[in-house]
Amino acid sequence: MESDEVLFGADPAPGIVAAELAGRFIRLFIRTERGVLFHDDPFHPFILLESEELLEGFGQVDTLKSLPGPGEFRFMASFRDWKECMAARDFLSRKSGRTPSALDAPYLFINDPVHQHLLSTGKTLFKGLEFPALRRLALDIETYCREGYEFSNPNREEDRIISVALADSTGFEEVLCGPEMSEQAMLERLGEIIRERDPDVIEGHNIFKFDLEYIRVRAARLGVKLHWGRDGSEPRVRGSRFTVAERIIDYPRWDLYGRHVVDTYFLVQLYDVSVRELESHGLKAVARHFGLTGPDRTYLEGGAISAAYLEDPESLRRYNLDDVRETLALSRLLSQSYFLQTRMFPYSYQNCIIRGNATRINSLFLREYLRRGASIPRSPGGEGGFEGGYTDVLVHGVVGPVVHCDVASLYPSLILTYRLTPSGDPQGLFLPLLARLREFRLAAKKRAREETDPARRDRFNALQQTFKVLINSFYGYLGSPLHNFSDPAAAAEVARLGRDTIRTMLGWLQDRNARAIEIDTDGIYFISPPGIDTAEGEEELIGRLSASLPEGIEVESDGRYQAMFSYKSKNYALLGYDGRVIVKGSALKSRGMERYLREFMAEVIRLLLMGEARKVDETYRRYLRRLESHDFGIEWLAKTETLSESPATYREKVAKGKRNPSAAYEIASRSSHEYKAGDQITYYITGAGKGTSYENCRPVSAYDPASPDVSIAFYTGKLRQVRKKLEQFLEEEEDLFSRLSGEQGL
């Protein structure tokens, strides 16, 4: 696969683990049998131009090359070094009146020198390396919190670092313990370990916003220099932003010369955006979810860490070490896909993780067009909106048994079947690249099934998952107005064909007396026609459905279930033949709900699916009794919210009447801790009456189980609202499996 120059780049240079700007060169760090060596590549930074006249008057252009073709950027200006390239960028910005980020700028400037070099040379990182060869060092710290305060603060003298745990991918482990070392000695030893172990990657869970930032502030107080770079340099720290789906996370980015910093909290966010199955993104909860927790795992509550430091330092040491062990295991599970992608895309490992799929795909086109010396089109711009996929709910309530079929990779299949390609791709890369990715994915999937060696099986599984994500991102890339080779009009045609395909499937099933329950973009839940009640019969039906569609559009069976609770579009629950319940949709299992509501909803859904709606009232009364007797722990009643903007911006908007008050922001505004966008607040509601949440909110850390002050009226009111939403599904029936319940929507 790596011989494919479009996908992996034309230069096969092996073993590169990092690349950095070094004057007029790009320094490549190369892992060899003798350790990590470096090699300096000549660097020729460039800017793409619409017209060669744009740089008239600048006078420091090294070369100016014409790029033939219909693209708007028809000239490449190269410069002697990065400093001159940036000076040319500033000149072009002043002359054109357009910043480099403006979509209508008459020039294209790429602001990362390493990305530029990898684009222009065809080199990528990690070629010829397997994931175990990557030297990864996990880091986690524990901190003291002065009595009377809720959070540790690195600016308070007493709130020192009390433990530092480290573990790397070779089996090395070490814990630096506060009772045995001064804070200054701990930080100095930490730097020594980094230089001795020489990791390619430093990892941690929420490492940017907590561990590294805390270390930076404490080191500055103590005068300790953090010479962590491979050249002995200190970290470069700047404010940055990570966007995943609807979430925006502000964080202080660290760049270490010759190394990468990977935050497993980001990896968890990226994982959960597609599966939406994690109850929490915290390290302990995620480790339990993936089965990464050791049998003797030590746990300490946040408020007990300072006490453990003073009274039981051995438990603190074990707790801290378990944290880095879980971090290392979590990274091994979630980061292999990005390791493999870094072999393909012209980005550093650290940047490959945080760049969006469409941005990474765009880089493949840029690299190959530059290799061919072809002009680059301007991004189409505009809003890029168009009608999406076909979704509908035809039956509400509990039905069964049901079958689910869907089209394998619907949009990519339509693109390839109908030969849909962006108008701005005269070199014709789009379709062959997508076809090869699909071919490679099928090959990797086959190898994963055949492999008996667990490590190789994991590698091929990671590879096929990587290709799957990329394949499914081509439609999104096509529809984005922000990238050079996208085409929203072509994406709209793909979506139209998708709707037509699903409607054709729906009509075919209905003509054969199948009853459709829900349609969701690429698949249909349905009740089989009379007389078809076995897995074999259902498979045969779906096979005939697939054969009725154009070649290249393949319908697959995606499961059969005893019963389905159809609530509303994209919100449903399924009861498998193994008794397992699968719940989909935020209306039925949102993390935004308090835990007691999620658990109540889960119990009610299971009762509905089992045909035992008559037991719901008993369950409801049991939850009411537990609320009234303070039987629920505060973690069942607390709610966690993510700040989408800074507290200062929130206060300004509330003052101007541009938004309503919010409990999470009120707590953040009152706290001594400096909160930023992307931070999470966990709180509960107090008081005797129902009140409003923002007026009666308290952080969970302030809760005293000996004197519970939760608002019973508030929480019973929310429970009542949930029950009312489900009320129309709760009429008592002898057998919910044998009927179609209420077709009236909520």
Tokens of 623: 């939850």
Q: Beta 136-143 vs 201-204: how paired, if at all? A: parallel
What is the chain's mean pLDDT, rounded?
A: 91
Q: How far is CA 240 from CA 115, 243, 249, 665, in A?
A: 18, 10, 8, 21
Percentage of the chain exceeding pLDDT 70:
97
Where in the chain are all domains bearing CATH 3.30.420.10? 131-339
Burial grade of 20 (CB within 10 A; 0-12, 13-18, 19 or more): buried
Strands (E), 287-390: none
Q: Specify burial of residue 303 (Cβ count, 10 A radius: 0-12, 13-18, 19+).
A: exposed
- Looking at residue 731, its pLDDT comes to 63
In the DSSP assignment, the letter for residue 697 is E
pLDDT at 691 over 60: no
pLDDT at 732 over 80: no
444-453, 458-467, 591-600, 715-724: the lowest-pLDDT one = 458-467
CATH class of 592-738: mainly alpha
**How many Å apart are CA 740 and CA 431, to the nearest integer?**
45
Q: Taking Cα atoms as reference points, which of 490, 517, 519, 478 lies closest to residue 502?
A: 519
For residue 673, what are the contacts with CB-CB under 8 A and spacing of at least 6? 150, 151, 153
Question: Amino acid identity, residue 661?
Answer: P
Domain 131-339 has CATH 3.40.50.2300: no
Expressed in angstroms, the distance from the first to the final Cα of the chain is: 51
What CATH architecture applies to the domain 387-423+487-580? Alpha-Beta Complex (3.90)
Question: What is the pLDDT, as a whole number, of residue 6?
Answer: 93
pLDDT in tens, 263-292: 999 999 998 887 777 778 899 999 999 999
Residue-level pLDDT at 560: 94
**Cβ–Cβ < 8 Å for 262, 335:** yes
Element (H, E) at 457: helix 454-479
Cβ distance 581 to 563 under 8 Å? no
201-204 vs 260-263, strand pairing mode: parallel
User: pLDDT digits over 633-679, tens only?
Assistant: 998 999 888 888 888 888 889 899 988 888 888 888 888 777 877 77
User: Which pLDDT belongs to residue 91?
Assistant: 97
**Which of these, 302, 303, 304, 272, lies nearest to 289 by C-alpha position?**
272
CA R_g for the chain: 29
Q: Answer yes or no: are the C-beta atoms of 16 and 123 closer than 8 Å.
A: yes
> How far is the C-alpha of 242 from the C-alpha of 103, rounded, in Å?
21
- pLDDT for the residue numbered 690: 59
pLDDT above 80: residue 150: no
CA atoms within 13 A on the CB side of 202: 28
Q: Which residues of the chain form CATH 3.30.342?
A: 5-124
What's the whole-model pTM score? 0.86
Q: Containing H/E element for 669? A: helix 663-670
Give tens-digit pLDDT for 568-592: 888 999 999 999 999 988 888 877 7
| C-alpha span between 270 and 264 (Å, rounded) | 10
Q: What is the dihedral of CA 489, 491, 494, 495, to 10 degrees?
A: -100
Separation between Cα atoms, residue 304 and residue 302, nearest integer Å: 5
Locate CATH 3.90.1600.10 in the chain.
Answer: 387-423+487-580
Topology of domain 5-124, CATH: DNA Polymerase; Chain A, domain 1 (3.30.342)
- Where are the CATH 1.10.132.60 domain residues in the chain? 592-738
Six-digit token string for 342: 């870094």
